[in-house]
Structure 1
Amino acid sequence: MRLDLSSSISLSEIPKQYYRPQNTYEETLLRRFENIPTNIYRTNEEAAEVLADEIAKEIRDFQEKRKYYTLALSGGVSPVIVYEMLIRKHREEGLSFRNVIVFAVFEYYPPVSENLGCMAKLRQDFLDHIDILPENIIAPDVYASQEDLVQACHDYEAKIDNLGGIRHMLLGIGSGGSIAFNSPGTHPNTYTRLVVLGHTEHNDALTIFSSHDTIPPSAISMGIATIQKAHKVTLLAWGESKADAIAKAIEGKISDASPASYLQLHRNATILLDLSASSLLTRIHHPWLVTNCIWNKQLIRRAVVNLCQITGKPILKLTNKDYTENGLGELLARYGSAYEVNIKLFNDIQHTITGWPGGKPNADDSSRPERALPYPKRVVIFSPHPDDDVISMGGTFSKLVRQGHDVHVAYQTSGNIAVGDEEVIRYVSYLRNVCRQYGMEDSPILQKAEEVRDFLMHKKVEGEPEQEDVRFMKGTIRREEARTACRHIGLAEDHIHFLDLPFYETGLIKKNPLSEADAEIVLALLREIRPHQVFVAGDLADPHGTHRVCLNAILAAIDEIKEEPWFRDDCRVWMYRGAWAEWEMDYIEMAVPMSPDELRFKRNSILKHQSQMESAPFLGDDERLFWQRAEDRNRQTASLYEKLGLASYEAIEAFVQYKPISE
């Protein structure tokens, strides 16, 4: 089975000439807005392989010179794939790390436990799998008293200097443009010091800690000046979620609002990106400003929609002058006039809108995104967690049910890790009161529940895997919330499927890699139902997130059945987006409008998931609740359609069709 097909999804094929120029002249033109040397690769695997080869060569070069090689590492998510490739080189190529000295870029203070923190993550992801000497692993002294912290930070800087400085530093970038824990507002003349974590840093720390309550209030972090002293710095960024911060760091002015922009002053800094993380750089997002374009439907859409936003005009009011003054004369040469471009694009976008996401029976479907027949359709909605269905496509879900289709929903993971301990304690307390009311104090069920309650309140140790009984209770809470939401929509209970994919059930934030066992569960359901439509979460922003892993499980299953007649001839796959972002107008192929009443109905469906309201552990760096994010996103999409001169709706959910990848 092919278990990483999501990395091969290309909504719009980015011509290689935009990101891998053939010569210095082309490179200079493409990079004219970029202020840091930037290398873009099609996937994060390609980029990581290049960097791993580079680091391995440097290590071997220093071994030949009988010198230590100093490497500064971050405990973030982005470098993990590089660590995996270096581990492979150690095992398969005999690469030794005995001459390598590793410095941690930051560490949380005060420490929560030995199982949590930057160094614990580095050990788990990398250091425990290579032959590095224990004495060559150096981290800030997080056990220093508050009175001794300043001296401990000076000592850390001294250790770096005494070893000749850092030869190579690997960094990720935070959602606010931070590097290490140098958040917006950091002065460039900062060295290793204690920093107080802000809101954004707290949310970034949720990749390690289970909830905001367990995150330490501060960290010891290398400063901007420490980073600038390193002989070489490589910043890594993967996924669309990093695109905005990357564009500001590379193409924006040097500013403390984007600490990563200070790398523009570094004598030997490089940024490695996959195509998703580079998506807002000028040469990828607005290539017509730096080179001759290879025009396709998506790029024309993006260019004209961008022109509408610059001019404040709807599509049909754009003029020849608007096109020529904004670098789009190529489109006029291609189509003859602004009118020809405008009408073509207007019709293209107009035909994405449909109130019949399953196809309208007995209607001409030649210009509709979904075919009219067969009717009714068998539909499977895959939801990574037990609420993504209603958050992301609750309006479409409801329409499919109301319009008479045979709808199934499949929850891929239990979502148990996203339930707070207090939720379990509350339900156990409820169970205790019920048992006492009906004289069942000796019930073994109550005894087990009391054990779980006592464990959560008094014995739980942060960083250790969640107990199986606790996972069961948390998963049960989410199951029943999902059933309640489905009943609200009108779905029969025998059409609700809980797949409980095994990769998720670790009891920790870190999950197991996707396996064929996960994909086989999805495959069995698809073959059982034989749907005409499949809806999947197409979130590609986070290469390591649960949504991405769940998508890979589905794509692996589809890859197995794509030539089976029932699928090949009569099944379409539609991708939706999650609570944080909608598909760009470039790619939308089906737009399902909602009235004010339908949007309110969707909100009530989301509210059935009570454990995921204010107290949910993983709300992210957005203070809005999930229903608020969903509504704002859906209204923004409708507003964009209106500003382009199309019909005015209260809200819109958008979808992109997935076509199976050939061999």
Structure 2
Amino acid sequence: MKLNLSSKIVLNQIPEEFYRPATAIERSEITRFEKVPTDIFPTIEEGAVDIANQLEADIKKREQEGRRFVMGVGSGSSLTPIFQELIRRHEAGRLSFSNVVVFNAYEYFPLNAENVNRSINQLKERFLNHVDIEAENIFTPDGTLAQDDVQEHCRQYEQHIKEQGGLDVILLGIGRMGNIATNEPGSSLTSASRLILIDETAREEMKMSFGSQETVPPCSITMGVSTILSARRIFLTAWGEEKADIIKKTVEGKVSDTVPASFLQTHNDAHVVIDLSAAAKLTRIQHPWLVASCRWTDKLVRSALVWLCQVTGKPILKLTNKDYNENGLSELLALYGSAYNANIKIFNDLQHTITGWPGGKPDADDTYRPERAKPFPKRVIVFSPHPDDDVISMGGTLRRLVQQGHDVHVAYETSGNIAVGDEEVVRFMHFINGFNQLFGNEQDEVIKSKYKEIKEFLKHKKEGDIDTQDVRTIKGLIRRGEARTACTFNQIPLDHVHFLDLPFYESGKIEKLPMGEADVNIVRKLISTVQPHQIYVAGDLADPHGTHRKCTDAVLAAIDLEKEAKAAWLKDCRVWMYRGAWAEWEIENIEMCVPISPEELRAKRNSILKHQSQMESAPFLGNDERLFWQRSEDRNRGTAKLYDDLGMACYEAMEAFVEYKF
């Protein structure tokens, strides 16, 4: 069973020479915009193996010299693949850590003695407990100290590093704001180990370990920037498209304390190791025509012309030969013969992505339409990771499919229960108890006892406590009720509304269980029963909590099993990926774009508003102050404006989709 098919999704085939150049000359040519040596790998596993190879060689060399190998190590999740590879080598008898000394890069502050959510505990669970490193060779800042003692403790920590001969290497991840260890924006180049306030973005990233953002300690004792730069070698890792923007700033931007990771540009042996997704915004990947000759695919030509329109401020059909020549795109003039020929080709390509018939227009010529006309009507399943992603991401298209006569099912993959605030539970419990008093004469003992039990639990609940099963069940029921209301508003029959409650989600914590066979089988049962002609899945693979990716992996794995079983219905099925909750598709990748009128956008907003528990008081709104309906509308309007700026028709809003080829 293939449980990670989402990681195989490649929207743009990047020629190997742009991430694995054959010669030093080729490398210097394509990396001309990069100020830190950056190695790009097709997969996370290959990147982890590369770092592990270098670490293994250095550890063994030091062992032969009779000396210790001193490592500084962060505990971020991006380092986990490297730890796993090192553990694998140790368990295979290939690598010993008996001569290794480890310095933890940071520790939360303040901590009490009972607090298990320590950085060093995470590091032990992910790495140190699985190898033969001596306990006396593990050093970490102490987050339980009195604040008055921290400054002296940091001075002693720096002294311990020097006594061990200095850091031979330090392994670090990177935060979304460019923080390394917990050196937040504003940290200076000369900063030493110290106590630092953790900003809101970093706290958002750390809450996976603590259960909620509120329980993340306000401060951290961290190695300073100068301490990190004192290491003989530095590895900075990042995986996934959510890190693409900050990697570009780190690697190609100016050295600035607003992006602490950019200080690595001043080090003589720093290495950035990333996968293709994290490299997506680097010039050699995003705009390869600026660094070398290209093999021009239709998508690359589309990407280049959209970029050229943005650079010149012109719509596609107004681009001239001069615009191409002055902006490094003369190759396209040679390929197409003139600007006009290239312009009209890409204009038509983009025009053909626009359709008001997402299920296909019956009795119409579908040669240039994204969806086929037949069969009509189509059976459709919209998979929604949480009980509101359907309307947030494709509410306009969903409504259009129903109104155009298709047989639409909505499948809510998880209960979404941890995203409901306790006050919502209290409100509904008051209603149930009041209903029992008014209409049941308080005869229902189950309601009375549960009301008292849950009320007592919530009264004594502390930040970070996991809800009881009963509380989680009530929270799940609240979200089910909201989803049903939204579906009714969108005229979807309730017998076409499916609550899958995939088991991987039910950890009671932000960090979920691994997605597995049980989850896939639940999805497979539904799709084999409905046998849809269209499937819609979440393409928000940069979802910060990881739920979207796991849900999509479950659907893709189920489809793959049906494919292996040679299910006949698959031959007439297409899979479309939507976005909208966290980001939008790049225009060069869009294959279907559905216009939304002002009235339809208002209806979409109203369907999102049916999910009342996810409004202002929702636990996971993140750092974006806009509510989900506002984010959705802004993205949809942004897509419409982009098409308008390129010279297409001007719509109120648009929802975009990319086809998944299975």
The TM tier, using the shorter chain, reads: over 0.9
CA offsets per residue over residues 532-588 of structure 1, 9 Å max, x none? 000001123369711111111111111122363534420000001131211001110
Q: CA deviation at 1:127?
A: 2.9
Distance 1:217 1:106 in 2: 13
Q: CA deviation at 1:100?
A: 2.8
Asked if structure 2 preserves the Cα contact closer than 8 Å seen for 1:192 and 1:223, the reply is yes
Distance 1:286 1:141 in 2: 46
1:601 to 600, 603, 607: 603
2:106 alignment partner in structure 1? 106
Which moved further from structure 2: 346-355 or 437-446? 437-446
2:579 to 566, 577, 580: 577
Which moved further from structure 2: 39-48 or 442-451? 442-451
2:82 alignment partner in structure 1? 82
Asked if structure 1 preserves the Cα contact closer than 8 Å seen for 2:433 and 2:447, the reply is no
Change (3 A) 1:600 1:177: same
CA offsets per residue over residues 127-185 of structure 1, 9 Å max, x none? 33334333333221111112212112222222222222222211111111221222222
Are 2:154 and 1:178 aligned? no
Which moved further from structure 2: 636-645 or 428-437? 428-437
Distance 2:462 2:158 in 1: 36
1:158 alignment partner in structure 2? 159
Q: CA deviation at 1:641?
A: 0.2
* Residue identity matched to 1:86: L
1:216 alignment partner in structure 2? 217
Asked if structure 2 preserves the Cα contact closer than 8 Å seen for 1:238 and 1:542, the reply is no
* Residue identity matched to 1:590: M
1:167 alignment partner in structure 2? 168
1:502 alignment partner in structure 2? 503
Asked if structure 2 preserves the Cα contact closer than 8 Å seen for 1:418 and 1:618, the reply is yes
Distance 2:454 2:73 in 1: 38
Distance 2:456 2:29 in 1: 65
Q: CA deviation at 1:220?
A: 1.4
1:658 alignment partner in structure 2? 660
* Residue identity matched to 1:80: T
Are 2:456 and 1:444 aligned? no
Equivalent residue of 2:220, what SS? strand
Change (3 A) 1:432 1:360: same
Distance 1:405 1:516 in 2: 31
Change (3 A) 1:65 1:246: same
**TM-score when scaled to structure 1?**
0.96
Equivalent residue of 2:145, what SS? coil
1:97 alignment partner in structure 2? 97
Distance 2:408 2:375 in 1: 14
Matches within 5 A, 1:104-253: 104-111=104-111, 114-253=115-254
Equivalent residue of 1:79, what SS? helix
Equivalent residue of 1:271, what SS? strand
1:513 alignment partner in structure 2? 514
Asked if structure 1 preserves the Cα contact closer than 8 Å seen for 2:193 and 2:223, the reply is yes
Q: CA deviation at 1:201?
A: 2.0
CA offsets per residue over residues 319-354 of structure 1, 9 Å max, x none? 000001000000000000000000001000000001
Which moved further from structure 2: 331-340 or 197-206? 197-206
Q: CA deviation at 1:435?
A: 3.3
Change (3 A) 1:63 1:450: farther
Are 2:468 and 1:467 aligned? yes
Distance 2:454 2:92 in 1: 45
1:638 to 632, 637, 640: 640
**TM-score when scaled to structure 2?**
0.96
What's the RMSD between the two structures over aligned residues?
1.9
Q: CA deviation at 1:636?
A: 0.3
Equivalent residue of 1:514, what SS? coil
Asked if structure 2 preserves the Cα contact closer than 8 Å seen for 1:428 and 1:450, the reply is no
Asked if structure 1 preserves the Cα contact closer than 8 Å seen for 2:283 and 2:290, the reply is yes
Equivalent residue of 2:411, what SS? strand
1:27 alignment partner in structure 2? 27
* Residue identity matched to 2:214: D
Equivalent residue of 1:78, what SS? helix
Asked if structure 1 preserves the Cα contact closer than 8 Å seen for 2:174 and 2:238, the reply is yes
Equivalent residue of 1:397, what SS? helix
Equivalent residue of 2:210, what SS? coil
Q: CA deviation at 1:649?
A: 0.4
* Residue identity matched to 2:347: F
Q: CA deviation at 1:373?
A: 0.9
Distance 1:432 1:104 in 2: 51
Which moved further from structure 2: 373-382 or 193-202? 193-202
Asked if structure 2 preserves the Cα contact closer than 8 Å seen for 1:239 and 1:542, the reply is no
Asked if structure 1 preserves the Cα contact closer than 8 Å seen for 2:212 and 2:463, the reply is no
* Residue identity matched to 2:83: Y
Which runs of 5 or more residues in structure 1 are unaligned?
none
Change (3 A) 1:623 1:490: same
Which moved further from structure 2: 399-408 or 541-550? 541-550
CA offsets per residue over residues 457-488 of structure 1, 9 Å max, x none? 314462x6543223222222222221121111
* Residue identity matched to 1:160: I
Asked if structure 2 preserves the Cα contact closer than 8 Å seen for 1:540 and 1:548, the reply is yes
Distance 1:468 1:143 in 2: 33
Asked if structure 2 preserves the Cα contact closer than 8 Å seen for 1:410 and 1:499, the reply is yes
Change (3 A) 1:126 1:616: farther
Equivalent residue of 1:208, what SS? helix
Distance 1:540 1:206 in 2: 19
Identity %: 56
* Residue identity matched to 2:281: L
CA offsets per residue over residues 603-627 of structure 1, 9 Å max, x none? 1111121222222222223221111
Which moved further from structure 2: 347-356 or 408-417? 408-417
Matches within 5 A, 1:282-361: 282-361=283-362
Which runs of 5 or more residues in structure 2 are unaligned?
none
Distance 1:291 1:610 in 2: 52
1:40 alignment partner in structure 2? 40
1:268 alignment partner in structure 2? 269
Asked if structure 1 preserves the Cα contact closer than 8 Å seen for 2:83 and 2:127, the reply is yes
Q: CA deviation at 1:41?
A: 0.4
1:486 alignment partner in structure 2? 487
Distance 2:15 2:108 in 1: 42
Distance 1:56 1:450 in 2: 59
1:589 alignment partner in structure 2? 591
Q: CA deviation at 1:18?
A: 0.6
Q: Deviation above 4 Å: which 4+ runs of structure 1? A: none
Are 2:623 and 1:621 aligned? yes
CA offsets per residue over residues 191-221 of structure 1, 9 Å max, x none? 1111112232222223323333222222111
Asked if structure 2 preserves the Cα contact closer than 8 Å seen for 1:401 and 1:407, the reply is yes
Distance 2:433 2:216 in 1: 31
* Residue identity matched to 1:578: G
Asked if structure 1 preserves the Cα contact closer than 8 Å seen for 2:540 and 2:581, the reply is no
Distance 1:475 1:117 in 2: 30
Change (3 A) 1:353 1:323: same
Equivalent residue of 2:576, what SS? strand
Equivalent residue of 1:562, what SS? helix
Q: CA deviation at 1:86?
A: 2.2
Distance 2:247 2:229 in 1: 18
1:611 to 598, 602, 613: 613
Asked if structure 1 preserves the Cα contact closer than 8 Å seen for 2:432 and 2:447, the reply is no
Q: CA deviation at 1:243?
A: 0.9
Asked if structure 2 preserves the Cα contact closer than 8 Å seen for 1:561 and 1:567, the reply is no
Matches within 5 A, 1:515-554: 515-541=516-542, 545-554=546-555
Q: CA deviation at 1:52?
A: 2.3
* Residue identity matched to 1:34: E
* Residue identity matched to 1:19: Y
Change (3 A) 1:418 1:52: farther
CA offsets per residue over residues 223-264 of structure 1, 9 Å max, x none? 111111112111111111111111111111111121111000
* Residue identity matched to 2:416: G
Equivalent residue of 1:586, what SS? coil
* Residue identity matched to 1:110: P
